[in-house]
Structures are given as C-alpha cells and as structure tokens.
C-alpha cells in the first residue's frame, strides 16, 4: 500500500530535530517500524523528520564502567561492535538474533525500544541488563530505568515531543554469564518467546540473577520469581530446573495464531532453562 501524503525533512542536528518533533513531526530513523505502519495507514503523520544522520545520536562508547549507545545505532553495529562483544556480549548476542540481515542493517536500537513491540528482542536484554533509557525533548533530558520504560504493548514512558537519545548498559566482567535464547516466528523473526539472562557467581554461588522475558505477555517483564529462586543457589541442573519453572508464573500470557497462552508458558520455562544453563556455562 501507499502512505498518505506527508512532508519530509532531514535534521542535521539534535536541536533541529527536537524543534521539528515538538512542532508535530514524527521522527524516522531506520524506518523498520514507522514505514510499515504508514503503508498500512495505521499511522498517517503529516510531517516526518529523518534523524538517522544526526551525529549526536550515533555512537557506541565506554564511560566510567558503562557503555553508552546512541539511539540511531543500527542493529548490525550493536551485533558486531568489538566493545559490546567484549564488555556487554548479551546485547550483541541479542542484536544478532533480530529479524534478518536487511533489518539488522536498517533498524536502530532506539527505534526498536521506542516502538515497544511486545515480541521485540531488545527489551528482554535491556531488562536483564538493568539498562537506563536516556530521553530528550526541547524541555530537557531525563533517564528512565528499563523496568519503567515499557508500559504496555506499543506504549512506553516517552512523553510527547521526546525521543530516545541513548541507552546505557553496564560493562560486564569474566564473572558474569549471559545468554539470549528465543523461539522465533519463522516469517518475521519476532520472538514467540525470548529469554535474556545475566548471571554473576561469587564463592561458588549465584550472587546475581537477572532474567528478561519478551513475547510471552502484552509487554516485556523481569522474571523476578526465577531470579529469587536462583540467587544463593549453586546453579546446579536441579537449581536451574526449579528456577525456570517460575518463568511465566503469575503472568497473563498472550494467545494468538502463533501460540496459545499455555504453549507460550511452556516455551518460557524451556527457554529459560536453556538460557540459564548457557549463561552459567559462560562464567569463567
């Protein structure tokens, strides 16, 4: 289908982009979310501002033990970044599982997070990493924890006129294990169930467990029951099985043509067990 007519502008600076967005323009970066909506006429913005080439939004750098990723950084850059592969491999691994090579060379991390598709891959990793989402508007900047950013299906804590400026994740060490495991919908690559895990052990015990889940419910969530069950344990096969059983407990699972609610809960338990096992095997 063909979108309704709209005005197009390309912003050269972040200040210029924010002024146009405050005046009602819709931001466009990779176009992997907005363009299909416009073609289906589910979105019909009168004006679009292209922010893909704004230099203040495109980078991957380390500062004070944290990694800062500009909003318009594309998935392939996240996947292939030597810095992320070395110091935040969970995010790089998650990016490598997104869609296909065409999508990974166009879509952006900020655009994916802002779109908040309940089956998107990044939200699970951002929750497991306890990432911070830095947003900016003409009135200033603020930081939102990932746990508070994803409000509902396709709904975030972004206010009108705000855009994501960067995403901040921790740099991890050899004492940390990670894994992203998912059951993908074959045609789209979206997660029917996706599980991101970050673990740390101290003195032979699991000292920290963070588990992010996508695809199961109407929004991504932290599987805190799994985390509590695993923390303090030795991380044995029995410990993992016991913890993974809690992956979808107390959650209202989604049901659609791809999977029923009960099947999604079953997959959540299976893929959590796989992700926990892999993460534990990666701890040096």
pLDDT reported for residue 212: 98
**How far are the Cα atoms of 63, 124, 244, 249 from residue 221, in angstroms, in the given order?**
27, 7, 15, 12
Last residue of a domain, one of 170, 186, 209: 170
Q: Return the SS3 of 165.
A: strand
Rounded to whole angstroms, how far apart are CA atoms 166 and 20?
A: 19
Asked if the structure places residue 185 within a domain, the reply is yes
Q: 236 and 133, same structural domain?
A: no
- Which DSSP letter does residue 270 get? H
- Which DSSP letter does residue 74 get? B
**Rg over CA atoms, the chain:** 19
pLDDT reported for residue 91: 98
CB 171 within 8 A of CB 82: no
Q: Return the SS3 of 98.
A: coil
Last residue of a domain, one of 137, 170, 203: 170
Show the beta-strand stretches assigned E in the chain: 7-10, 26-28, 47-50, 60-63, 66-70, 132-137, 140-145, 150-152, 155-156, 163-170, 176-184, 191-202, 205-214, 221-222
Rounded to whole angstroms, how far apart are CA atoms 203 and 214?
A: 31
pLDDT reported for residue 180: 98
Q: 266 and 182, same structural domain?
A: yes
pLDDT reported for residue 86: 96
| CATH code, domain with 27 | 3.30.43.10
Residue-by-residue pLDDT tens, the chain, 284 positions: 788 899 999 999 999 999 999 999 999 998 888 888 888 888 899 999 999 999 999 999 999 999 999 999 999 999 999 999 999 999 999 999 999 999 999 999 999 999 999 999 999 999 999 999 999 999 999 999 999 999 999 999 999 999 999 999 999 988 899 999 999 999 889 999 999 999 999 999 999 999 999 999 999 999 999 999 999 999 999 999 999 999 999 999 999 999 999 999 999 999 999 999 999 999 97
Among the listed residues 229, 173, 240, the one whose alpha carbon sits nearest the alpha carbon of residue 202: 173
pLDDT reported for residue 277: 98
Q: How many residues does the chain have?
A: 284
| CATH code, domain with 124 | 3.30.465.10
Number of domains in the chain: 3
Among the listed residues 38, 43, 52, 45, the one whose alpha carbon sits nearest the alpha carbon of residue 7: 45
Query: pTM (2 decimals)?
Result: 0.96
Question: What is the residue range of 95's domain?
Answer: 56-170
pLDDT reported for residue 255: 96
- Which DSSP letter does residue 258 get? S
């Amino acid at each position: 289908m063909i979108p309704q007519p709209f005005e197009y502008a390309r912003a050269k600076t972040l200040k210029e982009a924010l002024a146009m967005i405050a005046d009602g323009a819709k931001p466009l970066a990779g176009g992997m979310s907005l363009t299909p909506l416009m073609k289906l006429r589910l979105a019909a913005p009168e004006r679009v501002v292209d922010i893909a080439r704004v230099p203040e939004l495109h980078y991957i750098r380390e500062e004070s033990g944290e990694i800062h990723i500009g909003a318009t950084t594309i998935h392939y850059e996240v996947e292939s970044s030597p810095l992320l592969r070395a110091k935040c491999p969970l995010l790089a691994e998650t990016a490598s599982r997104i869609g296909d090579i065409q999508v990974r060379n166009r879509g952006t991390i900020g655009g994916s997070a802002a779109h908040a598709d309940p089956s998107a891959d990044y939200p699970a990793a951002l929750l497991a990493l306890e990432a911070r989402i830095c947003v900016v508007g003409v009135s200033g900047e603020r930081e939102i924890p990932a746990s508070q950013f994803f409000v509902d299906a396709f709904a975030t804590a972004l206010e009108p006129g705000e855009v994501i400026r960067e995403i901040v994740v921790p740099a991890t060490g050899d004492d940390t294990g990670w894994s992203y495991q998912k059951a993908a919908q074959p045609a789209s690559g979206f997660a029917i169930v996706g599980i991101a895990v970050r673990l740390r052990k101290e003195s032979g015990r699991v000292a920290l467990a963070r588990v992010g889940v996508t695809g199961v419910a109407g929004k991504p969530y932290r599987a805190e029951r799994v985390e509590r069950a695993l923390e303090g344990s030795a991380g044995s096969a029995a410990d993992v099985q016991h913890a993974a059983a809690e992956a979808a407990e107390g959650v209202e699972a989604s049901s659609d043509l791809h999977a029923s609610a009960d099947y999604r809960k079953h997959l959540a338990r299976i893929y959590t067990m796989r992700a926990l096992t892999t993460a534990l095997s990666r701890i040096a």
